[in-house]
Amino acid sequence: MDRKNKIWYKNAVFYELYVRAFFDSNNDGHGDLRGMTQKLDYLQDLGIDCLWIMPIYPSPLKDDGYDIADYYQILPEYGILDDFKALIDEVHAREMRLIVDLVLNHTSDQHPWFQAARSDKESPYRDYYVWSDTSYKYGDARIIFLDTETSNWTWDEVAGQYYWHRFYSSQPDLNYDNPRVQEEMIKVMQYWLDLGVDGFRADAVPYLFEREGTNCENLPETHAFIKRVRNFLDQNYPGRILLAEANQWPEDVRAYFGDGDEFHMGFHFPVMPRIFMALRKGDRTPIKSILDRTPEIPENCQWCTFLRNHDELTLEMVTEEEREWMWKEYAPDVRMRLNLGIRRRLAPLLDNDQRKIELAYSLLFTLPGSPIIYYGDEIGMGDDVELPDRNGVRTPMQWDSDINAGFSGTDASLLYSPIITHEQYNPQQVSVIKQISLSNSLYNRIRKMIQIRKGMHIFSRGSLEWVEAIPDALAAYWRKNDSEKVLVINNLSNTKQNVIIQVDEPFENIWVELLTERSYESKGGKMRVELEPFEYMWFKNLI
C-alpha cells in the first residue's frame, strides 16, 4: 500500500461497519473479525478506501462496546488478536486502510481501573476517574443521554463518592487532568498503531476535560491534549490519521483541526440533518446556509461527511424549532425518537424511494469532504424501532435470502439481533446479492458514483461555488480546481425542473453528464437542462 501518500484521507471513501453485524464466520450468532475478513472483497468492489470499525475490545456491551473493559484485547465473540492481525494484512493487501474506534473519554465501570479506583481511596487508579462528594459540580454540562440519565453524576456505594459520566452511568469518565491517564491513552494508541491500524476515530472527544463554570465541552485543555497526541502520531506514525467525533457547530469543530496540528479529519455533523431538511422541503437553503457558515480548514485537513451512522440521526446541532420540525417530518412515531435524535436508517427515512436515496448520495459524494457510508445503507437496509436504544439500526447485514440473510448459519434464536422482517426490507427484498444483480439498483448507482469520484479529486478538495439565480429546489454548484471543473445539479423537488444554467463558456461547448455519459451542448455560455423529480446530474466540460 502506498504508505508514502500522507494525505490519502483527503479523497478517500470511508465505510463504517459494526463487526458484530457484518458476517458470522463461526456460526455463534455474532459477526466476527474472520467474518469481516471474508467480506473484504465486497467492500473493495464497492470502491471503499478506508474502513472504520466500531469498538472491538472486551466490554460488558451495555453500549455496544463503547464501554471498554480492556483496551488491549479483542472481545472474545469477535475473535483473537491473530484474527485482527490477519484482517489488517488482508485490508492492506487490497490497498485499503482500516481505522479503529478509540473511546478516550470513558471506560466501562467493569474496567479493572475503575474497579480498583472505587474500592480504595488510596488506589493509584482512584484519580484515573472524576470523583466528588456532591453531585453539584460542573452544573453547566448538559446531559447527553437524556432518555436514560438524569444526572452526569452517580453515587458509588463502594467508593463512597459520586463519579462523573457524560454518557451511561456504566461509563465513568476518565480524568484527563491526571497525566497518567494521558500517558495510558497514548500507550493504547501505540499498541494498535504497532499492530498496523491506519488511525483512529476518536469517540466523544469534546468531553475529555471538565472545568467549573463551563459547559465542559471543547475546552482549551482538550485541544492541548489533542496537539500532544497529533505530535506523537506525526513523530512516530506519519500517514496514520485521527478522525474527530466532535458533534458541534462548524466553528467549534474547526478548532479541532487546530493549525493542521490536531485532527486530520472531523465529522461534519451540522450539514447532515440539513441534507434531510433540504430533501423534505425541496429547498437547497438549509445545506447552503450551513456550508456558508463552515470555516475554511487547513490544507492538510478534511471533513468527513455522512448521512447516517450507528447512532441516532442527531438533532443536537439544529435549533429547537428545526428539531421539532424534523421530528414531525421524519419521526412521527415517538418510538423513532431517541435523546435529541431519530433512530432510523436512511432508506426508511426517505420512504424507501430509491430516487431520494440516490439524490442524498449525490449530495454526499459531490459536496466538499470525504464521505462515509454506514454499513447496509448502500443496499437500502431497513430498521426496527421495536428494538431498544439504537439497536434497530444495527441489525445483521443482509447478504442474501438464505437462512439468516446469509449472515450466520446458526439457529435464528442465537443471533445477537433479529434480522429485519418488514415486508419492504426483509432479505427477500433487500440483500447484497439482489442489489448487485440489478443493474439500476441503489448499490450499483452508489458504486458508479464512487468510481467517478475516485477518478476526480475535485469532489473532495475543489472549491464550492453555488449557482444562485435558479429555483431553490435545485442544489446546483460548481466544483473547481486549477485543472478541471464540474457542475452538479440536484433536483431536491418532486416536480420536473427546467433550468438554464450560465456556464460562462463563450464558445459552443460540449458537456458530458458523468453518470449517464450523455452529452449536452451549451450555446453562448448557457446550457438548458431538464431534471425529473429528484434527478441529479454531474456535468464535466469536454473541451
Stretch of residues binding Ca ion (CB under 5 A), selected from 171-179, 294-302, 440-448, 509-517 = 171-179
Among 270, 341, 368, 376, binds ligand TEU (CB under 6 A): 341
Candidate list 63, 149, 198, 245, residue with the active-site label:
245
Site for Ca ion in 104-133 (CB under 5 A): 105
Write out the H or E segment, with its range, that includes residue 444.
helix 442-455
Are the beta carbons of 219 and 176 closer than 8 angstroms? no
* Least spacing, CB of residue 317 vs Ca ion, in Å: 20
Are the beta carbons of 116 and 125 closer than 8 angstroms? yes
Residue nearest to Ca ion (CB): 173
Among 83, 173, 383, 535, binds Ca ion (CB under 5 A): 173
Write out the H or E segment, with its range, that includes residue 151.
none
Site for ligand TEU in 343-402 (CB under 6 A): none
Provide CB contacts within 8 A for 353, sequence distance 6+: 534
Nearer to Ca ion, 71 or 207 (CB): 207
- The sheet with strand 519-522 has its strands ordered as 463-466, 474-480, 485-491, 536-541, 509-513, 519-522
Q: Exposed, middle or buried by CB within 10 Å (0-12, 13-18, 19+), for 407?
A: buried
Among 102, 174, 185, 204, binds ligand TEU (CB under 6 A): 204
Among 32, 109, 198, 203, binds ligand TEU (CB under 6 A): 203
Q: Is 144 near ligand TEU (CB under 6 A)?
A: yes
Binding pattern to ligand TEU, positions 226-265, x when CB under 6 A?
-------------------x-x------------------
Candidate list 16, 32, 101, 203, residue with the active-site label:
203
Nearer to ligand TEU, 215 or 444 (CB): 215
Are the beta carbons of 279 and 237 closer than 8 angstroms? no
241 binds, among ligand TEU, Ca ion, none (CB under 5 to 8 A by kind): none
Handedness of CA 297, 299, 305, 311 (dihedral sign): negative
Provide CB contacts within 8 A for 540, sequence distance 6+: 456, 484, 485, 486, 511, 512, 514
203: annotated active-site residue: yes
One-letter-per-residue 3-state SS of 180-212: HHHHHHHHHHHHHHHCCCCEEEECCHHHCCCCC
Stretch of residues binding ligand TEU (CB under 6 A), selected from 70-78, 80-88, 304-312, 476-484 = 304-312
* Least spacing, CB of residue 489 vs ligand TEU, in Å: 30
312: annotated active-site residue: no
Strands 161-164 and 153-156: antiparallel
Q: Is 103 near ligand TEU (CB under 6 A)?
A: yes
498 DSSP β-pair partners? 530
Cα 110 to chain center, whole Å? Answer: 27
* Least spacing, CB of residue 225 vs ligand TEU, in Å: 17
Q: By rule CB under 5 A, what count of residues binds Ca ion?
A: 3
- Cα(346)–Cα(360) distance, integer angstroms: 9
Q: By rule CB under 6 A, what count of residues binds ligand TEU?
A: 15
Residue 259, CA distances (Å) to 298, 302, 384 in order: 6, 13, 43
Q: How many Å is the Cα radius of gyration of the chain?
A: 23
Q: Is 275 near ligand TEU (CB under 6 A)?
A: no
Site for ligand TEU in 159-178 (CB under 6 A): 167
144 binds, among ligand TEU, Ca ion, none (CB under 5 to 8 A by kind): ligand TEU
Residue positions annotated with a catalytic role = 203, 245
Residues that bind Ca ion (CB under 5 A): 105, 173, 207
Residues that bind ligand TEU (CB under 6 A): 63, 66, 103, 144, 167, 203-204, 245, 247, 310-312, 314, 316, 341
